[in-house]
Amino acid sequence: MDPIVRAHRLDDKALRRLSTDFEDLSAQEIIKWAFEESHFRAVTTSSFSDGVLAHLVTQENPSAKIVFIDTGFAFTETVQYVHRLHKVLGFNLEIIEPNVDLSQDVCGTEMCCQRRKVEPLISYLSGHEFWITGIRRTETSQRAEVPIVSWDTKYQVVKVNPIANWSDDDVAGYIDRFNLPVHPLVPLGYLSIGCAPVTSPVLDPDDPRSGRWPGSDKTECGLHV
Ligand code: SF4
């Protein structure tokens, strides 16, 4: 068992049991648990396709860190939206960037995602024990069975996915209910937003991620694998 997990008395079996129990809890209750377990040091990352996770986390812990990984290939609209949400919701924004020479990285290659997203996050999370994300089961087939809480071997943290079981309608309803700002590309058909060179308006209206890496088999950048 990993020492951090042992320190929290959360072995794999305990995490699996919690994950099952958490299916009946609200996202707010799950986030509350994550902050209490982490002594309020849980870190949240968001792609900022919407403001739902940032709002949920900020309601529970206004000083919580919410991280945006700026690959250098984000849409200008995304960067502006991050700052707009930050101003409206007042969360503790942290922007992390790759810290290596990226001049040879070509968009679309595994090495580009690895160096621009995965390695900066591994480095950032190395000082943390709990990681809150906004991934949901309906987003991709690879995410269809994602647990609400689990041990992440790649990042060596307890990974908490408080809206894993939310539907697209749940997300839309939450945005309406709290009148959250909408990413400016969403009305243009971009329903899942990543790096600009490999994100287009959705090709299939019933598949929000059908605009990610269009024309390729790639569906994940490696952050959540
Ligand atoms: S999505 Fe493309 S540009 Fe963004 S990090 Fe991955 S390969 Fe690089």
For 193, the token pair is: 């937003």
Sheet (strand 65-69) strand order: 92-96, 65-69, 43-45, 130-132, 157-160, 149-152
User: pLDDT at position 9, please?
Assistant: 67
Cα 133 to the chain's mean position, in Å? 4
- Residue ranges of alpha helices (H) inside the chain are 3-7, 12-22, 27-37, 52-60, 76-89, 110-113, 119-125, 168-177
User: pLDDT at position 5, please?
Assistant: 55
Mean pLDDT of 101-117: 78
Q: Tell me the pTM.
A: 0.91
- Burial of residue 22 (number of CB atoms within 10 Å: 0-12, 13-18, 19+): buried
Confidence of residue 3 (pLDDT cuts 50, 70, 90): very low
CA separation for the pair 4, 1 (Å, rounded): 8
Confidence of residue 105 (pLDDT cuts 50, 70, 90): low
Residue to mutate, 78, 100, 109, 113, ligand 1, most ligand atoms under 8 Å from C-beta? 113
Q: Which atom of ligand 1 is nearest to the CA of 115?
A: 5
User: pLDDT at position 8, please?
Assistant: 62
- Ligand 1, atom 1, residue with closest C-alpha: 195
Q: What is the pLDDT of residues 14-33, one digit of tens each?
A: 999 999 999 999 999 999 99
Rounded distance from Cα 222 to ligand 1 centre (Å): 10
Report, as residue numbers or ranges, the catalytic residues: 221
Residue to mutate, 97, 221, 224, 225, ligand 1, most ligand atoms under 8 Å from C-beta? 221
Q: Which atom of ligand 1 is nearest to the CA of 71?
A: 5
User: pLDDT at position 107, please?
Assistant: 72
Fold (topology level) of 3-189: Rossmann fold (3.40.50)
User: pLDDT at position 200, please?
Assistant: 85
Q: Which residue ranges make up each domain of the chain? A: 3-189
- Ligand 1, atom 4, residue with closest C-alpha: 195
Mean pLDDT of 112-117: 89
Residue 7 pLDDT > 60, yes or no?
no
- Percentage of residues in the chain having pLDDT higher than 90: 67
Q: Which atom of ligand 1 is nearest to the CA of 110?
A: 7
Q: Which atom of ligand 1 is nearest to the CA of 194?
A: 1
Q: What is the pLDDT of residues 208-220, one digit of tens each?
A: 777 776 777 777 7
Q: What is the pLDDT of residues 53-103, one digit of tens each?
A: 999 999 999 999 999 999 999 999 999 999 999 999 999 999 999 877 777
Q: What is the pLDDT of residues 130-179, one digit of tens each?
A: 999 999 999 888 899 999 999 999 999 999 999 999 999 999 999 999 99
User: pLDDT at position 11, please?
Assistant: 86
Ligand 1: which residues within 6 Å by Cβ?
A: 71, 73, 107-109, 112-113, 116-117, 194-195, 197-198, 221
Rounded distance from Cα 215 to ligand 1 centre (Å): 15
Q: Residue type for 68, please? A: F
CA separation for the pair 157, 219 (Å, rounded): 23
Mean pLDDT of 24-53: 96
